[in-house]
Amino acid sequence: ISAFSPLLLLVPPQQPVIEVVQGNLANVEVNSQLMFRCTAERGNPAANLSWFLDQEQIYEGVQFPEAPEEYYDERSNKHMFTATSTLKRAVRAEDNGKRLTCQAQHLAYPEGVSRTDLILDVNFQPQALPDQVVYGLQLGRTATASMVIKANPSPHVMWNIDGTDYHQGTEQGRYAVPIPEALGNNRYNVSLTIAGLTLEDLSKTYVLRASNNFGVEEYRLTLRSQDEVFSESSSFGTGEIVGLVLAVVIVLLAVALIVGARATGRWCFRGKFNPI
């Protein structure tokens, strides 16, 4: 029994430690490769390590050594083990602001687990969007067209209208470009204000150019008035209604003709029986 007693003595490992072994957390860009190492030292037995990103466990890119590192501590006369795990990850824009956690699980921990985490700060250029359409604007009134874009750090924006550039924080003629409004989670509301909206304004294509230190992206936007939307929806609905009414009238006329013909005996639908 004495030969196995050291193995039966549970020793809680130290709190897990995360270190970056590849990459630079101070300047992380999208698609850059990072490697993290997590260690939980001086435990008996070795801790079980897991990786999480905002409480969602990570499996891809996680590696463990074949066996934990074992050593003998002469001062305490105990066998100790160090658990190690590495994580390789290609950083994504959506990783920004998320919490990367290394969790050590061990029976000797008071709560069963011990965790260490760090917050990822990912830099990325403004993210692409499909072409945008702003509906419901009123002719003759001040119109505001806006879209929400994602970027980190904050973007600098410029609108191009018929070859003329309008920079953020400026007002030229009928056009005003406010500074992008931070909405949180790296989302920014970018807008353009047009005084006295005209029919000519509706025929233009508005190009937004957003940039930061990590890249540039362009967006295209068109405007639609309330009258246009109502006209399209009304004409489309009227055509459907007219077609449906005509179909119903034709069916009713056909039924009426058949019923009338049978009642007057003008049409014969089956042979007439004549007894001999």
**pTM here?**
0.69
What integer pLDDT is reported at residue 184 of this predicted model? 92
List the beta bridge partners of residue 247.
none
Same fold, 17-120 and 126-225: yes
Domain boundaries of the chain, sorted by first residue:
17-120, 126-225
Which of these CATH numbers, 3.90.1150.10, 2.60.40.10, 3.40.50.170, 2.40.340.10, describes 126-225? 2.60.40.10
Q: For the stretch 170-204, what's the b/e string if a residue is b when 16 or more beta carbons lie within 10 angstroms of its beta carbon?
A: eeeeebbbbebeeeeebebebbbebeebeeebbee
User: Quick one: what percent of the chain has pLDDT higher than 70?
Assistant: 84
Q: Reply yes or no on domain 17-120 having CATH 3.40.50.720.
A: no
Could you tell me the pLDDT band of residue 259, with boundaries at 50, 70 and 90? low
What pLDDT was estimated at residue 260? 66
Q: For 178-234, write each residue's pLDDT tens digit.
A: 999 999 999 999 999 999 999 999 999 999 999 999 999 999 999 999 876 444 444
Q: Which pLDDT value is given to residue 265?
A: 62
Quote the pLDDT of residue 257.
Answer: 72
Spatial distance between the Cα atoms of 48 and 190, rounded to a whole number of angstroms: 47
Contact between residue 212 and residue 122 where contact means Cβ atoms under 8 Å apart: no
d(CA 115, CA 216): 38
Q: How confident is the model at residue 168 (pLDDT cuts 50, 70, 90)?
A: very high
Say if CB 16 and CB 104 are below 8 A apart. Answer: yes
Residue 232: per-residue pLDDT? 45
